[in-house]
């Protein structure tokens, strides 16, 4: 295992100490229980937004804490759900009296723990709404998942709901907006290589030198099909067509598109995928109104990519364009 780490059990703590030192203008890091929280939280009368999940997907979620996006993020151990205790403390830390939205990726551990945290917070008098993101079209059920997995749409939901909360929308409105984003967002990913969880010390799965995994999950869960390597154009077509046909996206739709690297993919390759994806979408009469290209929801050092498309109307585009100031996403300020 080749990694820039010290002891596997210290990876998340030491990362968080680095985040605390690097971004003290944006966030504070609370330890035991661990969460990353906006320096200016809680903000009176603003809906607080909390997300979280296993570590290893950086910059998601801790890198998205800041003005216009998340109020707090709860990092679990690598690829392991954070605990209800973390989520409860983060919820309390961001409650400014207008309630708190939990944005939850659809993995069994995350869903159960966020449910428990929401109940505990409500017992303490904090209004909590929860929205589960389940946008991965690859497979219906999966390791650790009942239903579809929650992947790239989470990043877009955090940005858009963050903007709405910043604008002063109510908890009910922000939760409704989050459900709209989840309903209109679809993703699919693929892996050229596995990744290695530090604690495990060996690759999560074996993928021969001439094969790839189409529809892979962000923890290396099996996807739709293992097959021989194909060209970037063929891979992009498989991902894009699976996504477009699922909603289905239609001629005339505007979309926010994300071409996401899994952590070990050069940016040069993501632009090749982006180029082909736009051609395919144009043939469908679908227009890319906004885009993100880079590493946003990763799987450690996995080589591969995912595509996320979010059908976007005026409302979503306006929230998308609103200022955001986080370590992982920043514009307008």
Applying CB under 8 A, which residues contact its own copies? Answer: 2-6, 11-12, 14-19, 21-22, 55-56, 58-59, 63, 78, 192-193, 209, 212, 229, 231-233, 235, 263-276, 278, 288, 291, 293, 295, 298, 300-301, 303-305, 327, 330-333
Residues noted as catalytic: 57, 219
Residue with tokens 């929650």: 150
d(CA 105, CA 102): 10
d(CA 144, CA 177): 26
User: In the bound complex, what is the minimum distance in angstroms from residue 213's beta carbon to its own copies?
Assistant: 11
Burial of 206 per CB tally in 10 Å (0-12, 13-18, 19+): exposed
Strands (E), the chain: 27-30, 35-38, 48-55, 72-78, 100-105, 128-133, 185-191, 211-214, 225-228, 254-261, 287-294, 304-311, 324-325, 330-331
Q: Which is nearer to its own copies, 100 or 235 (CB)?
A: 235
d(CA 198, CA 175): 35
Q: Which is nearer to its own copies, 48 or 304 (CB)?
A: 304
d(CA 171, CA 46): 9
Q: Which is nearer to its own copies, 23 or 46 (CB)?
A: 23
Q: Which is nearer to its own copies, 111 or 238 (CB)?
A: 238
């Amino acid at each position: 295992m080749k990694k820039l780490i010290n002891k596997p059990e210290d990876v998340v703590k030491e990362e968080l100490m680095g985040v605390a030192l690097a971004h003290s203008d944006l966030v504070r890091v609370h330890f035991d229980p661990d969460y990353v929280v906006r320096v200016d939280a809680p903000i009176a009368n603003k809906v607080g937004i909390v997300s979280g999940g296993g570590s290893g997907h950086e910059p998601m979620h801790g890198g998205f804490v800041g003005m216009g996006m998340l109020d707090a993020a709860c990092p679990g151990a690598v690829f392991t759900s954070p605990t209800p205790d973390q989520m409860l403390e983060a919820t309390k830390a961001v409650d400014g009296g207008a309630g708190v939205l939990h944005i939850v990726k659809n993995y069994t551990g995350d869903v159960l723990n966020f449910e428990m945290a929401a109940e505990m917070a409500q017992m303490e008098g904090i209004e909590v709404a929860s929205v589960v993101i389940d946008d991965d079209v690859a497979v219906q059920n999966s390791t650790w998942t009942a239903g579809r997995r929650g992947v790239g749409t989470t990043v877009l939901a955090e940005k858009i709901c963050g903007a709405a909360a910043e604008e002063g929308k109510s908890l009910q409105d922000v939760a409704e907006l989050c459900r709209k984003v989840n309903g209109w967002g679809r993703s699919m990913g693929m892996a050229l290589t596995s990744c290695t969880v530090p604690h495990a010390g060996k690759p999560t799965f074996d993928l021969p030198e001439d094969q790839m995994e189409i529809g892979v999950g962000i923890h290396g869960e099996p996807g739709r099909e293992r097959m021989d390597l194909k060209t970037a154009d063929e891979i992009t077509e498989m991902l894009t067509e699976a996504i477009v046909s699922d909603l289905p996206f239609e001629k005339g739709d505007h979309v926010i598109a994300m071409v996401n690297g899994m952590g070990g993919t050069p940016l040069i390759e993501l632009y090749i995928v982006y180029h082909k994806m736009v051609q395919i979408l144009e043939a469908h009469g679908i227009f890319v109104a906004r885009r993100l290209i880079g590493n946003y929801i990763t799987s450690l050092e996995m080589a591969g990519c995912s595509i996320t498309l979010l059908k976007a109307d005026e409302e979503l585009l306006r929230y998308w364009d609103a200022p955001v100031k986080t370590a992982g996403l920043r514009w307008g300020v």
